[in-house]
A and B are shown apart, each in its own frame.
Chain A
Amino acid sequence: MKASVIVFPGSNCDRDIQVALEKFQIATTMVWHQETELPKSDLVVLPGGFSYGDYLRCGSMASKSKIMKEVIQYAGTGGYVFGICNGFQILTEAGLLPGALLRNNKLKFICKDVQIKTINNQTAFTKKLSEHKILTVPIAHNDGNFFASKEEIQSLKDNNQIVFQYCDKEGNISGESNPNGSFLNIAGIVNKNKNVLGMMPHPERVIDQLLGGTDGQEIFRSLL
């Protein structure tokens, strides 16, 4: 299996995701943002970071970059695209996923472990997760507050596109377990075709017990 990791000048989780993919024997090519061609890949990953500084809306400039034209085309033909954190923001800005990621409701950057509940385990990204599996995965963002229009939310529900929701340790999806104000506690969604996943939490940070957990492993195993 081959993955391409898109590297923007301000990406900073590119090495982390590379380490994670390679731990699961997924060969990884780093693709610079100014490239105009994607190498032949089974998966494209948009890593976390600050793409072009994100002084404008997070991910908006990245969504217009040279390489994103290729990524959009690749996704259009059914190719698998996985956006984490800034990658999720870029996917919504590029129109590959609905909604937008606003500033966290408490207006602070948040880096901490949270629990997420698996709502859809029928996707290529989650197929190894058991139904309603609760994962402990860290978030690290300033703008992770998911928002979408009523129609978009209805469509997300109707098409089973909500993949992860923030919850507490027992799996309750509540206001207290919502770290950033996201609508419906949404932490991750897929597109209608289920080939594009965006999520704010960082599964690549929980693949090693020494570093605080292994709950991210099942997501990477699902990719295989």
Chain B
Amino acid sequence: MEQTTVDQAKQLGLTESEFDKIKELIGRIPNFTELGIFSAMWNEHCSYKSSRVWLSKLPTKNKYVVQGPGENAGVIDIGDDDVAIFKIESHNHPSYIEPYQGAATGVGGILRDVFTMGARPIANLNSIRFGKPEHPKTKHLLNGVVSGIAGYGNCMGIPTVGGEVEFDECYDGNILVNAMNIGLAKKNKVFLSIASGVGNPVIYVGSKTGRDGIHGASMASQEFDDNSEAKKPTVQVGDPFAEKLLLEACLELMKTDTIISIQDMGAAGLTSSSVEMASKGKLGIEIDLNKVPCRETEMQPFELMLSESQERMLIVLKEGKEKEAEKIFKKWDLDFSVIGKMTNSKNLVLHFNKEVVCDIPISSLADEAPKYNREWISTPLPEEINIDKKLNDLDIKDCLIKLLTHPNQSNKSWVWEQYDHMVMGDTIQKPGGDAAVVRVHGTNKAIAATVDCTPRYCFAHPHTGGMQAVCETYRNLSAVGAEPRAITNCLNFGNPEKKEIMGQFVEVIKGMSEACLALDYPVISGNVSLYNETNGIGIKPTPTIGGVGLIQDSNKSTTISIKATGNLLLIIGETKGHIHQSALCYDILHIKKGPPPTINLAEEKKNSLFVRNLINKKIAQSVHDISDGGIALTIAEMCMSGKIGANITTNLIDAERIKFLFGEDQARYVVEVRSADYDNVVKLAKEQEVSLLQIGSTKAENLTIDDMKITVEDMLTLNNKWFHNYNSN
């Protein structure tokens, strides 16, 4: 058998010491196929070698968690023997190189993670971040990514119900495409990836294997440089129709009693799926590579094992059930091949052309993969600076208009109208609100879901930013009346080999952990995307959080739309006027210094409970959490959504007024109530020690703030124009 060299190892992304470790683990020099398999399993994307030490610190349990991290996706109980299965995953690197296919296969990958576990996917969400709009690549990337997400999800017939879109120059060379999916299953019909039973057959199903995506996972573990375009062949090509067939075939097979374990072939394809199943089952696995269905001729073992061709699954069946399973896959016109069996050797053994081309211990690929406790330094809390002079001169209307027309705050319907957000007939709240609400089919309960992150906060102070991202999702779910149950996270960072980047990662995790613990809102799944750097410049730390909650009664949910004139608008939560790192300072005034708003977890919990209670009692007519743009933009959005105006009085002047209206203090909501309910709400707030301020009332046509006046119609026109103008020339 041919032997490999340290140079070959380096070309595959391994270090010299890692190559030495491989030799030590297997007691000899690996051959080329084996080296490829090590490089695929030991890269950052698959091994979490820089992040594992810290990820283990995240809270992962509460009374609803059925399955935490470690499986294809996490599982929570939603009552009546139903479970929600969900996860978020990045597809950043491929989407930058080939936006349509990168984003499309990102959606395809997360869908497989969810239906592998036995769930029917019911909702897609996504978080996409691009460089500054003026950057020459941004328009192309935005259009490609949105079309790719649409192309895949729409064809699959799974609604894309929510997400976020942001532009910031830190993503000029590294866009972020994070895709989330939620599925539903019965509690006793959840499928795991733990193989068992020596001699049980290993089945390959789905599409054929080609040469696409070889080394995709390694690519996602490296920085970009000016030659990144040359990496196009590492991007996979999606076929949503094949995935639709695979979904239906798998769900049909899952109704029979044939499956031991099942795992999708995602990053590092056949390698990671076979190794993970065997590793979890503490078994060996033997595969005859000549039996892998191929799309191209003369594919070599190295290529077969590392291809990331899409829409494929690996299944361990109960012995003797092959015929029954094959019939289902034939019905759906999919490939079905018995390619190997589980063994008690605890080794990965590969046969090709009657020769053994790989024989290595499973443990060396999984448990004994390198784990680094990388050096890190913490980011101190920035000091407050006095910007009152600048704020004194600002005109409220001018500030509001600049925010309404800024790409980050503009109406995003240009994006989400390209996604089928209604198919499956259960979408109660479509995109554009605080959280998406999707009914559990055939019941009166509903799932609420949202994705959020505020990278400018995370960059200014990662610890606060980590907490805030978790809290923001908690608030968004609360604002539609859902009880927040658990989160999934997608941790997007720069190069962890740099101390300050690793420090951002560590501090974000610490912040997230504190928030998760205090809110009883654990992490049940997720992924880490490091090396989001180009030519040595990293992105802002971006821990995208996907939050999921439950609404017990679909009729007891609310939207951000103001419902009627003559109602009162209340601010729940204390307004201190924290203006640093606000959307106004950051995006409009370009003042990027100062600390992000502080987080008070006890307030978050208390205020959320209070708001949910008002929704549950049908007292709250509309609710919107206060985030980017502060009270002013929040109320403007409520007006635009409901096409009804409001009358706001601040009793403040100059800088104090600007801070009050545009500051981004946390744990706050705007709630619309009928005036008849006001006394009762004030009484409840007093009892629960919740800060409440009546700030104004609703009325027809205009939004007025003190002496400022703007029509709702004008705000709509201003808010709607950016995306259409940007993309129409």
Contacts and interface: CB of A to CB of B under 8 A. Distances in A.
Interface stretch (B173-181, B239-247, B698-706): B239-247
Interface string A176-220: 000000000000000000000000001011000011100000000
A110 B155 contact: no
Interface stretch (A10-18, A95-103, A117-125, A160-168): A10-18
B423 A16 contact: yes
B669 to A, nearest CB: 23
B333 interface: yes
A53 B424 contact: no
A70 B186 CA distance: 38
Nearest to B241: A53
Contacts of B439: 210-211
A11 B157 CA distance: 8
A8 to B, nearest CB: 10
B148 to A, nearest CB: 11
Interface string A1-43: 0000000011111011001100000000000000000000000
A207 to B, nearest CB: 9
Contacts of A110: 417-418
Interface in B136-188: 147, 150-151, 154-157
Contact of B155 (A19, A50, A210): A50
B723 to A, nearest CB: 12
Contacts of B239: 53
A15 B425 contact: yes
A9 B555 contact: no
B420 A49 contact: no
B155 A16 contact: no
A10 B422 contact: no
Contacts of B417: 110-112
Nearest to B427: A211
Contacts of A15: 424-425
A12 B332 contact: no
Place the interface of chain B in its size category: 20 to 34
Given A109-B420, A212-B430, A12 B425 contact: no
Contact of B425 (A19, A53, A54): A19
> Which of B150, B240, B333, B423 has the most A CB atoms < 10 Å from its CB?
B423
A52 interface: yes
A12 B333 contact: no
Contacts of A49: 157
A109 B244 contact: no
B157 A111 contact: no
Contacts of A19: 425
A128 to B, nearest CB: 22
A142 B240 CA distance: 15
A166 B333 CA distance: 39
A72 interface: no
Contacts, number: 88
Contact of A111 (B240, B245, B422, B426): B422
A12 B157 contact: yes
Given A49-B157, A211-B428, A9 B422 contact: no
Contact of A211 (B154, B418, B419, B425): B425
B248 interface: yes
Interface in B103-154: 147, 150-151, 154
Contacts of A111: 154, 416-422
Contacts of B421: 111
Given A205-B422, A210-B554, A211-B426, A140 B241 contact: no
B147 A10 contact: no
Contacts of B418: 108-111
Contact of A140 (B242, B422, B426, B428): B422
B241 A109 contact: no
A59 interface: no
A138 interface: yes
Contact of B422 (A52, A55, A138): A138
Contacts of A50: 154-155, 157, 240-241, 244
Contacts of A112: 413, 417
Contacts of B332: 9
Given A52-B241, A53-B240, A211-B428, A13 B155 contact: no
Contacts of B428: 210-211
> Which of B248, B416, B419, B425 has the most A CB atoms < 10 Å from its CB?
B425
A84 to B, nearest CB: 12
Contacts of B244: 9-10, 12, 50
Nearest to B425: A16
B418 to A, nearest CB: 5
B241 A204 contact: no
Interface in B249-264: none
Contacts of B333: 9
Contacts of A109: 147, 150-151, 154, 418-420
Interface string A48-90: 1110111100000000000000000000000000000000000
A16 B439 CA distance: 13
A138 B417 CA distance: 11
B241 A55 contact: yes
A87 to B, nearest CB: 14
Interface string A145-158: 00000000000000
A11 B422 CA distance: 15
Nearest to A12: B157
Given A10-B155, A15-B425, A205-B422, A108 B147 contact: yes
Contacts of B422: 111, 138, 140, 202, 205, 211-212
B646 to A, nearest CB: 24
A103 to B, nearest CB: 12
A138 B157 CA distance: 15
Nearest to B414: A108
Contacts of B419: 109, 111
Contact of B154 (A52, A55, A140): A140
Contacts of A204: 425
Contacts of B151: 109
Given A109-B150, A211-B425, 12 more contacts: A9-B244, A11-B157, A13-B423, A49-B157, A52-B241, A53-B240, A109-B154, A140-B420, A142-B154, A205-B422, A210-B439, A210-B554
12 contacts: A9-B332, A10-B241, A12-B157, A12-B424, A15-B424, A54-B155, A109-B154, A111-B417, A112-B413, A204-B425, A210-B428, A212-B422
Interface of B: 147, 150-151, 154-157, 239-242, 244-245, 248, 332-333, 413, 416-428, 430, 439, 554-555
Interface of A: 9-13, 15-16, 19-20, 48-50, 52-55, 108-112, 138, 140, 142, 202, 204-205, 210-212
The 8 closest A-B pairs by CB, nearest first: A12-B157, A53-B241, A16-B425, A140-B420, A50-B155, A111-B420, A112-B417, A109-B150
